Structure formats: C-alpha cells, structure tokens
Amino acid sequence: MPAIFDPQSIAIIGASGNETKIGGRPIRYLRMAGYKGHVYPINPTRDEVQGLSAYASLSAVEGSVDLAIVAVPAAQVADAIQACADKGVKAAIIFSAGFSEVGDEGRALQDRIVSIARKGNVRLLGPNCMGAINTGNGAIATFSSGIVDRTPDRGRISLASQSGAIGAHCYVLANARNLGINKWVTAGNQCDLEVSDFLLHMASDPDTDVILCCIEGVNDGRKLTRALDVARANRKPVVVMKLGTSEAGAQAAQSHTASLGGSDAVFDAVLKQYGAYRAKTLDEMFDIAYACLQGGLPTNSSIGIVTVSGGGGIMMADAASELGLDVTPLEPAVQTALREIVPFAGTRNPVDVTAEIISRHELLYPMFELLAEKGGYGSVLTFLSHLGRNPAIIEALKPDLLRIAQVYGKDRALFLSLLYTDAVRADLEEMGFIVFEDPSRAVRAAAALTHFGRSFANQGAAIEPESHTLRAEARANLAPDRSYSEVEARDILAGIGLPFPAQSLATSAEEAAEYAAKIGFPVVMKIVSPDIPHKSEIGGVILDVRDGPATSQAFDTLLDRARAAAPNASLDGVAISPMLSGGTETILGVTCDPAFGPVVMFGLGGIFTEVFKDVSFRLAPFNRAVALSMIDETTGAAILCGARGQPRADIDALADALVTLSIFADQNRALLSSIDINPFKVFEAGKGAAGLDALIITSSGAGHSAPALHTDTPEKETAWRPAPKF
C-alpha cells in the first residue's frame, strides 16, 4: 500500500507527450499537484516527455522505482509487469483494459500477469482501473478526466471504489461540495489488491477521518469485515454505497462486473453488524461524510429540536422519528421555564422559539440553554428557516449562535438548518455547526452520526467467555455432501446444547407403543428415512397420537404410506417425540454466503418469512447482544414480546439458541452448507424453547474455508473501458 499512496518514485510505462492521452495525463497531473518524488516517463521512441527526460525502458532508469503506472495496450502489459518484476518495482497500477472483463482470452491474459507479479513480488492495482490519488503528497496516479485545471482538493475523506467512473464522479462531487479528499483509489478488475485492502489501509491511516466506499459486491467477505472492525476500533466512520441492490441493478451489475457478493440482505446485515452505514444515494453519502467531519458523534440517540417555525419543528420531528431517533419530551418544569421566556413557545420538544427571536435575538440563547442542559440530547438541531438569507437578522443572531456553539458544541452534535448565502454558511461552519439547507437532510445526517456514535461505543460482537467452551465442543464430525436426516441433525444440534425434546426411534409397532408411553402422551410420530427428506408431503407425520393402540396403528400407517410413496426408500423406523402445544413458531437457519461464510437467519414462521421476508441475518459467530438485536430487528418480534394478547415469550432461550447455533456454524464452516431448525418453538418466558425439526446439509467443502489474504480474484470485471484514444 505505501507503494500506491506514498511512492518515492513513479515510472509511467507508455508515457505520452500528449497531455490528453491516457499515458500523458498522469504526468501532467503529477506536475500540477507538485509531486516531489522522481517521475520517470518510459517511452522507447522519445528522449523527452512533457519536459522530463524519458527512458527507453524501465531497466534504463538508474534509481529505484516504487510504483509503475502501466498505460500500454493489453497485449504489452505482461511484458511491462515482467519489467517491473525485474526492476524490483513494488506496485503497478494497470490502467489498460481488455482483460477478464472482455471474456476468456482476457481472463487468461490477466491470470498470466498475476502469476508474473506474484513471482516478482509486485502488487497490482487493476487492470481496467482508474488508479489512485494521494492529495497529501501529490501522487496523482490516475488518468481520470475529472481533473480539469486543478487536482483534487486535499481533505480528510478517503474513498475506495470498485468502479473507476463512480470513483471519479465522487471526487469531483466532493470538491464541488467543498469537501476535500485524502486518499482515493479505484480497484477495477481487482486481480490482486481489492477495495477491502484499501479500506483496511484507510482504517489505520492518520490522515483519514472518514472512509467512503462504493462497491458492487465482495468476494472475500472476511477481508471486508476485518477492515470494518479496524475502522470501528479506530473510530473512523465508514459509509458504504452498494450498487446492484435491485434485480434490474444486479442485472446491470452482472454485465458491469462479475462479482459474487452474496445476497443484498446478508450484505446489509454485515454492514450493520460491523458498524458501517449504508447510504442509499451519493447525496446522502456526502451529506454524512460532511457531517462526520464537521461535528462530533452523538453519544445517545435522543435529539433536541429548536425551531423558529412550528411547522419546521413538526417536519423534523417526523423525520427524526422515522429514522429511529428519540424526540424525547422535556420535563414539565423545563417546559414551564421555557414559557417564562416566550409565553407562546412550543416547549415539549420541538421547542418553538417562535418569530420572537427575530426581533429579540437574545431570547435564543436562554431557550437553547434550557433544552441543552436539561434534555440530555445527543444531538441538537436548530431550524432557522430562511433567516440565513436575511443579512440583518442573521447578523444579529450570530453572537448568540457562536456562544451556543462554544458552550454546547463540545459534547453534542450541533446541527443548523437554514436557507443561507455562501458567506453565512461559511461563518456558521467556522463556529462548528453542521449546516444543511434542507431540514430532513440534517435529520438524516444526525441519524447517521448517532449510528456511528453508538457503534463506536459498543465495539464488536465477540462471543462471551462462557461460549468459548462451547466453541471447543461445537466442531462436529460432519461428512461432506450429505443431507442429515431429522434424527441425526437433532442429535448433533442437541449435543451442543440446542433444545430438542427427547425422541426415540421405534422399529416396530410394539416398540413404538412402549417408547410413546415412556415419553408421555400425546406424541408426534414421523417416518425416518434418508431417502424421504420432505416427510409431510407423503403424509409421513402423524400428530397428537393419544394412546398405546393408536401409536401402534400410526406406526403401521406411516410405514404403509412410506412404502407406497417411495417403494425403494430405505426406512430407519419411526421417530416418536412429545407433542408440544402452545408457543410461537420461529425459524432458525444458517446459510453459507459465498462471500461472507456462515450467516445465521432468524424469523417467525410461515407468512412472516415467506410473504413479508421478515427475517434478520448476522455473520456467525456472535454474542448474546447481537442475538437480541437480530430478534428485535424483525417486525414479528412484537408477537414474541406479547402482541395479540400472547404472553411474553422466552426470548432468553431464543437468544441462547441463536448464539449456540452461530458458534456451531462458525466451527463447522469448512463443510457446512445450510441448517434449518423449522419450526423452533419458543414458549412463554421461563419455559424455554424447542426445535421440532432440523435439517443439516453439507457441501463438498470447496471454497468455504477462509481464503488467504493475498488472493487472486480473476472473476472481477468492470465494463468501464477507458477509450484507448483519450
């Protein structure tokens, strides 16, 4: 990474004297930015390029070369990388297109380059990428056409983007919004270094305060989560924009890149679990980046609202509630005190200071003071409507606003929403306010800052110490490519402590009656056969069997049905278990996401899952707090908490089961393909829970272990193909 962002010397292979060409632009940009290192244009046909001495080849350069920019046609790239390897170049940025993104031939070429680079210890960025920028030292290693007459402004936002075009759009947008960039990188085909590698770097970079990320998907989810973990530990907000969330978008993404990336719901859960914030629009991404830089992170999710207009207060309270912020009312005594200042003020929160402050600006401070001192709000948002465009009024208010910022800006995020002139905005920002014209955007930014504030205060999902014993025991001796029958799956899962009621396997009608009597009536009886995974479909389950004779009869019936439906099935017998009534049916599951590995799913049964998709996901393993949050996240959780007149369910038992399942999934990730515990009945509080059915499926084991850190991911493609002629 130092070679990409902090090279002491840069060679441009395919350097052009034409400043508008792909091999000419970086030279122009490096000089424009005042890059202090050596710049070596490599061009066999010229002595001089843009006023610099040119070299016929990399080997002709006398000094060492940290970074090579490769801007030659695809067919010449392999030779260029070989030259880099021979010269001891640390990293190469390959602008050239025509690799994995254009099909098998390109992919083969790309594989060859990777192999040369590995042998020669050269790290690669690209191919088919737009390069990297470090505004701190002027290392502008890009050919982006977004640079016109000056290189990007310096700031404390760093950005890693898979797509070069989106990356370029972002730095131009950032600069247009007066936000500076620190480090910037686009990863293109990601044949070696990928977006997550750069996120990890930025997470520890002292010059980066906020990290932005635009991706379509990831191949190695653990690399991403590691980067997010480090960023969280270092209190650096990460804002992620994921492209390809809809079917139409994903279709376009497939033609744009061939990322695997897993399901969007899993990706969303991962970001939540690792404290990153997912922006839905570019505007939102930069709003949040701006707010993170401009203000402190709130320590709690309650928001105080001060407004010169009742309507504005309502609007912001609506937006805050929708985004999960608490618009906590002020105590009655505080409200009384507020009314002593302005008798007609709204005082509950929002506090409507009314247009009185236009003529009597001295009323603002004491009202703000009461709200801030007494309300305990993590953020305070003040709405001044159009007053920022009325010079006389805003000038009169400025001393009061400055005092507010000085006194209350230290341990609160202070937002101002008003229509402004550029000069007014600059003054207010100088005071320390986070300033937005649109009140709803201000609230949205407050919600994001609160997300980070809470996430940084609550680090990680590390499992509890008491779970470590479990961890050791949870590794099961699973065989590859198998579907474990209910009886086997129950045994395995009950063995690590998941609650499954006793079950006996009867091989005769007599045995059945005997076991049932031992278990206690009523019982449930199910056919057991490795060849009949879907028992209910053939009538292979009989519920509510109430006595001995009925048990024997049911045994025969089940065998008859099984033989009729699947004459060649091998039958193990009939499983007998107690008939449990009551409780709420939930579903616990595990899937293995191609990018992130084992993911635990929770949902309520039936239509909750099937029609409303009311399920939550978390990466395994996790602790109790995470389990509770994933229960809480579902709408159906209301039922477990006692909606519809039901007693409150045993959420503790449910959370324990999710934690145990997550540890099991983690410990068996090498072979695990999926687990279903459906239904998993949760009884009323104190009465536990019980799995009533279970299925474990394993895979061949290929691709499920953690990949090595330096991997080749040749399936990445991006369709942004720089026109060879620019």
Q: According to CB under 8 A, which residues from 544 to 583 bind a second copy? A: none
Binding of residue 391 to a second copy (CB under 8 A): yes
> Which one, 208 or 307, has the nearer CB to a second copy?
307
Question: What 8-state DSSP symbol labels residue 153?
Answer: P
Locate the DSSP E strands across 175-318.
181-186, 210-215, 238-242, 277-278, 303-307
Binding of residue 541 to a second copy (CB under 8 A): no
Give residues 104-133 in contact with a second copy (rule: CB under 8 A): none
Q: Report the nearest approach of a second copy to the CB of residue 717 (Å).
A: 9
Backbone angles phi and psi of 701, in degrees to 5: 95, -5
Give residues 246-305 in contact with a second copy (rule: CB under 8 A): 246-253, 255-257, 280-283
Binding of residue 507 to a second copy (CB under 8 A): no
Binding of residue 398 to a second copy (CB under 8 A): no
536 Cβ partners below 8 Å, 6+ apart?
none
Binding-site size for a second copy (CB under 8 A) equals 101
Q: Report the nearest approach of a second copy to the CB of residue 183 (Å).
A: 19
Q: Report the nearest approach of a second copy to the CB of residue 7 (Å).
A: 26
> Which one, 176 or 708, has the nearer CB to a second copy?
176
> Which one, 410 or 721, has the nearer CB to a second copy?
721
Binding of residue 719 to a second copy (CB under 8 A): yes
Binding of residue 366 to a second copy (CB under 8 A): no
> Which one, 346 or 453, has the nearer CB to a second copy?
346
Q: Report the nearest approach of a second copy to the CB of residue 309 (Å).
A: 3
Q: Which stretch binds a second copy (CB under 8 A): 237-245, 395-403, 502-510, 675-683?
A: 237-245
187 Cβ partners below 8 Å, 6+ apart?
125, 126, 129, 160, 161, 162, 193, 194, 195, 198, 716
**Residues in contact with a second copy, shown as a per-residue x/- string from 137 to 176 under the rule CB under 8 A:** --------xx-x------------xxx-xx-xx--xx--x
Binding of residue 387 to a second copy (CB under 8 A): yes
> Which one, 47 or 422, has the nearer CB to a second copy?
422
Tokens encoding 563: 């033989």
> Which one, 125 or 509, has the nearer CB to a second copy?
125
Give residues 82-101 in contact with a second copy (rule: CB under 8 A): 97, 101
Residues 584 and 636: beta-carbon distance below 8 Å = no
Which residue in 313, 378, 432, 583 binds a second copy (CB under 8 A)?
Answer: 313
DSSP, residue by residue, 648-659? PB-HHHHHHHHH
Residues 485 and 689: beta-carbon distance below 8 Å = no
Q: How far is CA 360 from CA 354, 387, 400, in A?
A: 10, 14, 11
Three-state DSSP class for 259?
coil
Q: Which stretch binds a second copy (CB under 8 A): 76-84, 241-249, 399-407, 446-454?
A: 241-249
Give the length of the chain: 726
**Residues in contact with a second copy, shown as a per-residue x/- string from 607 to 646 under the rule CB under 8 A:** xx-xxx-x--------------------xx-xx---xx--
> Which one, 172 or 405, has the nearer CB to a second copy?
172
Cα dihedral 165, 168, 174, 177 sign: negative
Secondary structure of 615-645 as H, E, C letters: EEEEECCCCHHHHHHHHHCCCCHHHHCCHHH
DSSP, residue by residue, 99-121? SGGG-HHHHHHHHHHHHHHHHTT
Please report which helix (H) or strand (E) contains residue 714, including its range.
none
Angle in degrees, 0-180, between the axes of helices 195-203 and 221-233, rounded to the nearest 10 = 10
Q: Which stretch binds a second copy (CB under 8 A): 188-196, 422-430, 604-612, 672-680?
A: 604-612
For tokens 């009621």, what's the residue?
501
296 Cβ partners below 8 Å, 6+ apart?
409, 410, 411, 412, 413
Which residues lie across from 55 on neighbouring strands? Answer: 42
- Cα–Cα distance for residue pair 547/535, rounded to 1 Å: 22
Q: Report the nearest approach of a second copy to the CB of residue 347 (Å).
A: 8
DSSP, residue by residue, 416-440? EEEEE-HHHHHHHHHHT-EEESSHH
Which residue in 87, 183, 223, 441 binds a second copy (CB under 8 A)?
Answer: 441
Residues 726 and 22: beta-carbon distance below 8 Å = yes
Give residues 327-356 in contact with a second copy (rule: CB under 8 A): 327, 329, 344-350, 352, 354-356
Binding of residue 419 to a second copy (CB under 8 A): yes
Binding of residue 216 to a second copy (CB under 8 A): yes
Binding of residue 243 to a second copy (CB under 8 A): yes
- Cα–Cα distance for residue pair 36/31, rounded to 1 Å: 9
Binding of residue 676 to a second copy (CB under 8 A): no
Q: Report the nearest approach of a second copy to the CB of residue 410 (Å).
A: 26
- Cα–Cα distance for residue pair 61/71, rounded to 1 Å: 18
Binding of residue 393 to a second copy (CB under 8 A): yes
Which residue in 375, 409, 439, 598 binds a second copy (CB under 8 A)?
Answer: 439
Binding of residue 718 to a second copy (CB under 8 A): yes
> Which one, 437 or 560, has the nearer CB to a second copy?
437
Tokens encoding 541: 């389950």
Q: Which stretch binds a second copy (CB under 8 A): 23-31, 223-231, 242-250, 595-603?
A: 242-250
Three-state DSSP class for 430?
helix
